[in-house]
């Protein structure tokens, strides 16, 4: 039976249990290549669209999307999206006496509130620049969006994660633990939903890595991680 037609795996477990299952995978932490204090977290603006697109393109295994897609997120979904800007050198005068404008985009989180599920924040993509990983930035961006008035009334956070993406599983189960909430994992998008025919094995090859999922036509399944219920008022 093709992988995509097997009965969906549905698990329900507490965040602690899920983390326990994944323990042991985490090697030593890499040193943080950027100074935490230089990073400014804020809502994205249209001027950030190209920088976000470049960051996502270099953040495998995320699916690359058009810059236009990120421009729309910046324009219409900024309230539930976050960028992290490295402010190094910004504001310092150059040789001509001009002061710098924008810093490099080193982190991005996109989210939206599904219109038919009023108590849910759906987090779509989270990307952190490779030199900045393992320093808590992804977690900070999640906390940043959860603090905003735009997510008032949310009691659940949903995201989808492919089974091989351990850093992402680790990020969201850690968040669930901090929110003292359950994390339920269930089937969401199967490989066949992405039009894959061979279980997505090509994604793990150089060919898959070079071309990106959309162009290749193969894509791992994505499981739904649903965290909650939680009480955001406690975080304010």
Distance between CA atoms of residues 234 and 236, nearest Å: 6
Distance between CA atoms of residues 105 and 14, nearest Å: 34
Is the separation of the CB atoms in 156 and 113 below 8 Å? no
Rounded to the nearest whole angstrom, what is the least distance from the CB of residue 81 to ligand COA in the complex? 13
| Contacting range for ligand COA; rule: CB under 6 A; set: 1-9, 43-51, 131-139, 199-207 | 131-139
Short-list 144, 146, 140, 138, CA closest to 120: 146
Stretch 9-38 residues interacting with ligand COA (CB under 6 A): 26
171 binds ligand COA (CB under 6 A): yes
Rounded to the nearest whole angstrom, what is the least distance from the CB of residue 99 to ligand COA in the complex? 29
Report H helices in the chain.
15-22, 49-57, 67-76, 137-146, 166-178, 206-211, 213-216
Rounded to the nearest whole angstrom, what is the least distance from the CB of residue 225 to ligand COA in the complex? 10
Contact mark string toward ligand COA, 44..63, x via CB under 6 A: ---------------x-xx-
How long a stretch of residues is the chain?
236
Member of 65, 80, 125, 190 binding ligand COA (CB under 6 A): 125
Distance between CA atoms of residues 87 and 19, nearest Å: 34
- Our CA angle for 189, 127, 12, nearest 5°, is 40
Rounded to the nearest whole angstrom, what is the least distance from the CB of residue 174 to ligand COA in the complex? 4
Is the separation of the CB atoms in 82 and 107 below 8 Å? yes
Member of 4, 67, 150, 174 binding ligand COA (CB under 6 A): 174
| Contacting range for ligand COA; rule: CB under 6 A; set: 6-14, 88-96, 136-144, 202-210 | 136-144
Rounded to the nearest whole angstrom, what is the least distance from the CB of residue 35 to ligand COA in the complex? 14
- Residues near ligand COA (CB under 6 A): 26, 59, 61-62, 125-128, 133-139, 165, 167-168, 170-171, 174
């Amino acid at each position: 039976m093709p992988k995509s037609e097997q009965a969906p795996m549905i698990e329900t477990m507490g965040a602690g249990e899920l983390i326990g299952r994944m323990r042991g995978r985490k090697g030593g932490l890499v040193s943080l290549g950027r100074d935490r204090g230089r990073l400014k977290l804020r809502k994205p603006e249209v001027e950030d669209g190209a920088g976000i697109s470049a960051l996502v393109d270099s953040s495998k295994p995320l699916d690359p999307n058009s810059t236009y897609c990120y421009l729309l997120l910046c324009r219409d979904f900024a309230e539930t999206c976050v960028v992290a800007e490295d402010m190094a050198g910004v504001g310092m005068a150059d040789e001509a006496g001009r002061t710098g404008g924008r810093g490099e985009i080193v982190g991005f989180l996109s989210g939206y509130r599904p219109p038919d599920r009023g108590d849910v924040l759906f987090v779509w993509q989270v990307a952190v620049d490779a030199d900045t990983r393992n320093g808590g930035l992804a977690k900070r961006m999640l906390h940043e969006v959860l603090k905003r008035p735009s997510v008032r009334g949310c009691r659940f956070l949903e995201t989808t994660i492919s089974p091989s993406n351990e850093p992402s599983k680790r990020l969201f189960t850690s968040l669930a633990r901090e929110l003292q909430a359950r994390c339920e994992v269930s089937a969401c998008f199967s490989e066949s939903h992405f039009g894959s025919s061979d279980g997505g094995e090509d994604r793990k090859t150089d060919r898959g890595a070079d071309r990106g999922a959309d162009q290749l036509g193969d894509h791992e399944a994505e499981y739904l991680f649903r965290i909650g219920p939680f009480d955001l008022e406690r975080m304010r």
